[in-house]
Amino acid sequence: MQDLPPFSLAGSYKNGCKVKKKVGSLIRTKMEGILGASDFLSADDGLFYGRVTDNVAQGISLLKTRYKDHYVVACSLSEVHGKQLKADDVTSDDIRARLSASESTFCLTPVAPFQNTYDWDLGSEERAAAAMNEIAKLIENVAMPVFSTIESPARLREAQNTSYSERTERKVVAALGRFLAAAGFQASLHGGFLWKENGDIVATIRPSIVGLGCFLIVHLILWSPVLEGERKELSEPPEDFSSVAFAKIAAQGITEDGVEALWPIADEFQYQSSLDDVVRVLMSAPMTAWLDAHCTVPSLISVVSPDLRPYVQRNIDYLSEK
């Protein structure tokens, strides 16, 4: 899936993003401490940091949302066209201008990296300090690995190609399928996931390539026809089946931490190492026990996020009354 900007960077700059003076000083000190050694230049307002590597502009921006004192932290990459930007005389304003229409932008979020936005509350020194500590970890573990990998126009163009991610996802499914066939998993007809009947429900494994091809996320999704409002025998889920009952796979097993669930695949060594570890986790005794404990429709509902459970339960109640 291609990472698309959920907002206009140019519009956000024009609207202004002033923060309280003491908070702004705290942000600048923290950001320069994180990025200064990596040749990032800071803008005068302290809310943008950018660099150029081999004609790829890279930037991290703090952008104000419609909520008071709330910001998103956006990371952007863009190929430099036209007049070239030389690292020895480029300014932060030059980089910011080149990134204003970037098609490769993702937000730093502890919830679901690369997959949604997240508002950071910077309304007071105390809240800003706590937020900046979290943001620093995300820059180190999420943003910088992407920036360090996507340093050339050719690599950026490859990563922006939707078919690149789709090919890699199918490659992961095929590789996992060879290892997990003994556990009863088989590839779907569409090739996008693995599945097997697990008691009264279907367990599926769906990989997603995120972060411009730098990371893999593996979701273990539990499914039943009742989630689609249907009562029928178990079979392979449809291509666009409901994925509200899911768990993320990390090195220690099931996790709710979005960053822990990121498997690095930026090069062949990382790809193979991560794949081996994913198989190890999926074939482990704790994972087998987890699947055994989630093999009924009621247990499936326990995996759904609390805000969606009433809707899922309504579907089930409706079908049971028919």
pLDDT digits (tens, 9 = 90+) for 40-53: 988 888 889 999 88
Q: Are residues 134 and 212 in the same domain?
A: no
The answer to whether residue 208 sits within a structural domain is yes
Mean pLDDT of 98-114: 83
Predicted pLDDT of residue 8: 41
What are the angstrom distances between the C-alpha of 60 and each of 10, 32, 108, 142, 255?
13, 12, 9, 12, 27
Task: Round to whole Å and give the CA distance between 190 and 170.
Answer: 9
Q: Which residue has the higher pLDDT, 4 or 104?
A: 104
**pTM listed for this prediction:** 0.86
Q: Is the pLDDT of residue 282 over 80?
A: yes
The answer to whether residue 2 sits within a structural domain is no
Task: Round to whole Å and give the CA distance between 230 and 53.
Answer: 53
Q: Which residue has the higher pLDDT, 187 or 234?
A: 187
- The tokens for 142 are 């999420």
Q: What are the residues whose beta carbons fall under 8 Å from the beta carbon of 227, sequence distance 6 or more?
A: 241, 242, 244, 245, 312, 315
Predicted pLDDT of residue 212: 93
Q: Are residues 29 and 119 in the same domain?
A: yes
For residue 18, give its domain range: 9-159
The answer to whether residue 237 sits within a structural domain is yes
Residues of the chain above pLDDT 70, percent: 89
Q: Are residues 148 and 174 in the same domain?
A: no
For 125, list phi and psi in degrees, rounded to 5: -60, -40
Quick one: which of 148, 120, 128 has its CA closest to 35? Answer: 148
- Residue 307: pLDDT band (50, 70, 90) is confident
The answer to whether residue 18 sits within a structural domain is yes
Q: What is the pLDDT of residues 236-271, one digit of tens each?
A: 998 888 889 999 999 999 998 999 999 999 999 999
Q: Are residues 39 and 114 in the same domain?
A: yes
5: amino acid identity, one letter? P
Predicted pLDDT of residue 2: 37
The answer to whether residue 4 sits within a structural domain is no
- Residue 322: pLDDT band (50, 70, 90) is low
Q: Are residues 144 and 187 in the same domain?
A: no
- Residue 5: pLDDT band (50, 70, 90) is very low
Domain boundary among 159, 189, 220: 159
Domain boundary among 126, 159, 192: 159
**CA 71 from centre of chain:** 18
- Residue 96: pLDDT band (50, 70, 90) is confident
Mean pLDDT of 3-32: 62
91: amino acid identity, one letter? T
Mean pLDDT of 52-61: 90
Q: Is the pLDDT of residue 132 over 70?
A: yes
The answer to whether residue 148 sits within a structural domain is yes
For 156, list phi and psi in degrees, rounded to 5: -65, -45
- Residue 116: pLDDT band (50, 70, 90) is confident
Report the domain count for the chain. 2
Q: Is the pLDDT of residue 6 over 80?
A: no
- Residue 13: pLDDT band (50, 70, 90) is very low
Predicted pLDDT of residue 88: 56
Task: Round to whole Å and give the CA distance between 200 and 18.
Answer: 55
Task: Round to whole Å and give the CA distance between 224 and 320.
Answer: 14
Q: Which residue in this structure is represented by tokens 């979290």? A: 134
Q: What are the residues whose beta carbons fall under 8 Å from the beta carbon of 68, sequence distance 6 or more?
A: 123
Quick one: which of 218, 215, 194 has its CA closest to 204? Answer: 194
Task: Round to whole Å and give the CA distance between 213 and 164.
Answer: 8
Domain boundary among 124, 159, 194: 159
Task: Round to whole Å and give the CA distance between 255 and 221.
Answer: 13
- Residue 272: pLDDT band (50, 70, 90) is very high
Q: What is the mean pLDDT of the chain?
A: 86
DSSP track, 241-292:
----BEEEEETTEEE--TTTT-EE-SSHHHHHHHHHHHHHHHTSHHHHHHHH
Q: What is the pLDDT of residues 156-182, one digit of tens each?
A: 999 888 888 889 999 999 999 999 999
Q: Are residues 85 and 139 in the same domain?
A: yes
- Contact (CB, 8 A) for 251 and 148: no
- Residue 284: pLDDT band (50, 70, 90) is very high
Task: Report the range out of 21-25, 54-58, 228-232 with the highest average pLDDT.
Answer: 54-58
Predicted pLDDT of residue 209: 94
**How wide is the angle at C-alpha 320 spanned by C-alphas 315 and 322, nearest 5°?**
100
